[in-house]
Chains A and B, each alone.
Chain A
Amino acid sequence: MVRSPLTATSASQDSKMAGRKLALKTIDWIAFWEIIPQNQKAIANSLKSWNEILTSRLAALPENPPSIDWAYYKANVAKAGLVDDFEKKFNALKVPIPEDPYTALVDAEEKEDVKSCAEWVSLSKARVVEYEKKMEKYKNLIPFEQMTIEDLNEAFPETKLDKQKYPYWPHQPIENL
């Protein structure tokens, strides 16, 4: 039996909502999945699902609530001044925009991450250089048919027989033969 007034956005209502814009970055989910190591896949999954939950909730809520038809209420409510009072208070009310202490944390984390990544990348490059050197050495080996045992020991130091430790032939523990 309650008549709900039809919603009609009036200009007076819009002024209440502050001009906030939702700035969301587009996410490449495949790349996001790639960078997560195996042992953190669960956390990544929860992040993703939270994202989905929140987007759906956001989609369900219209940006502004419908506005209240004061004229109708003024006409119908018997108590004088009640509606005016409500209207005044309603317009004066400012819903606080929730504060955001968390983005700062995320930014700080990201900065640290960038730093550690840069460090890691430089280490990685050094490693790559070492590997390349080793590769060169291996690629430039003379063919085995033309090596002597000394050459072999130079190229693969693990083949060198320790004649101090095992002075008698075969210069290695029997198990290695």
Chain B
Amino acid sequence: MKTTKNFYLARPVSGHLAPALTDSPIRGHRNAKIAVWNSADHAVPSGTFCCRHSGPLSEECSLPRSRTLGPVTERNALKSPNGQDFNRVLQATRTFHTEQPHLAPVPPLPEYGGKVRHGLIPEEFFQYLYPKTGVTGPYVLGTGLILYALSKEIYVITGETITGLAVIGLYIFGVKKFGPSVAAFADKLNEQKLAQLEEAKQASIKQIQDAVDMEKAQQALVQKRHYLFDVQRNNIALALEVTYRERLHRVYKEVKNRLDYHISVQNMMRRKEQEHMINWVEKHVVQSISAQQVLNIFDVLTLYLYL
């Protein structure tokens, strides 16, 4: 035998079941019940086979009895360190309780259970008999047992036999026909649950990420807050400057207005005086023209007319 290497069974078989040997298969159990073996239950020579569902739940099981959530997909299928696929290799010997119990993360369940022939008889039985009786051995044994039971009337053929045969036939037909689709449906339900959880997890992660990003952005903005106050200060400075300049301009304007007023008053007075003087001179000139001079001028004018 090769040297033993340790690996662990899938969880529902209770994690404290420890290692088996390298070339032993994993006994995959998708059943919710925990099958617990004590090493005392088995003789552990090479080539034992273990029963599949055996034994009551042991009080020794220190781990919670629970069921893993998901099916095992191909990627989870256990491989031995040597790369053998455990699901297909016989389990030879097993030692239990030799290691500390292992907790999460639980190694995933194997996808398929142990191989079984005709849906009833585990493969290990055939392998067990193979060295002694070859390929046909178990079949011969089976046939012999059935014939013995029939002939010795250990099993009595009654009406129930026909019923039984018919029912079993129907069962087999039903399972073969509808089994895969029902399995697919169940798997889909499970997938949905998993997808939901996954979605929730992703949403949470995204939410947290968004929160972190926003916090970082806000922190960056803090650097720019001084602009608000800069604007206010600028406004104040501008307003003050504008006021000051307006005052200066006002002073200038007022002074200039007054000076200009004086000048314009002077100009106006002079103009008025000029006009008045002109009027006065004209008036007196006109007055001084005597009546006689007017007639003389008329004569001269009439002379010009005739010319």
- Residues of A bordering B, CB below 8 Å: 1-4, 17, 20, 22-25, 27-28, 31-32, 34-36, 47-48, 50-51, 54-55, 57-58, 61-68, 73, 76-79, 82-83, 86, 90, 93, 95-98, 100, 102-103, 106-107, 109-110, 113-114, 117, 120-121, 124-125, 127-128, 131-132, 134-135, 138-139, 141-142, 144-152, 156
Contacts and interface: CB of A to CB of B under 8 A. Distances in A.
A156 B69 CA distance: 15
B256 A58 contact: no
B285 interface: no
B224 A135 contact: no
Main secondary structure of the interface of B (DSSP, over half): helix
25 contacts: A22-B237, A22-B238, A24-B234, A35-B221, A35-B227, A47-B231, A47-B235, A77-B259, A77-B266, A78-B262, A95-B244, A97-B240, A97-B244, A100-B236, A107-B229, A113-B225, A117-B222, A128-B212, A134-B204, A138-B204, A145-B72, A145-B108, A145-B194, A146-B107, A150-B64
A54 B238 contact: yes
B286 interface: no
Nearest to A155: B201
B84 interface: no
B216 to A, nearest CB: 7
Given A24-B238, A144-B70, A148-B64, 11 more contacts: A25-B230, A25-B234, A35-B225, A54-B242, A61-B245, A77-B259, A113-B229, A124-B218, A138-B208, A142-B105, A145-B72
Main secondary structure of the interface of A (DSSP, over half): helix
B205 A148 contact: no
B283 interface: no
Contacts of A132: 212
Given A98-B243, A110-B226, A110-B229, A24 B237 contact: yes
B255 A95 contact: no
B252 A145 contact: no
A131 B267 CA distance: 88
Contacts of A63: 245
Contact of B235 (A3, A51, A144): A51
Interface in B250-288: 251-253, 255-256, 258-260, 262-264, 266-267
Given A90-B255, A103-B236, A1 B242 contact: no
Please classify how large the interface on chain B is, using the bins under 10, 10 to 19, 20 to 34, 35 or more. Answer: 35 or more
A62 B248 CA distance: 10
The 7 closest A-B pairs by CB, nearest first: A145-B70, A54-B238, A65-B252, A142-B105, A110-B229, A31-B224, A32-B227
Interface of B: 11, 64, 66-73, 76, 104-108, 194, 197-198, 200-201, 204-205, 208-209, 211-212, 215-216, 218-219, 221-222, 224-249, 251-253, 255-256, 258-260, 262-264, 266-267
Contacts of A67: 252
Contact of A135 (B67, B197, B209, B263): B209
A77 B108 CA distance: 113
B76 to A, nearest CB: 7
Contacts of A125: 219
Contacts of B201: 138, 141, 144
Given A35-B228, A124-B218, A146-B106, A77 B263 contact: yes
Contacts of A86: 255, 258-259
Contacts of A76: 263, 266
Given A36-B228, A68-B255, A110-B229, A27 B234 contact: yes
B212 A131 contact: yes
A21 B253 CA distance: 24
A149 B66 contact: yes
A131 B210 CA distance: 10
A148 B238 contact: no
A117 B225 contact: yes
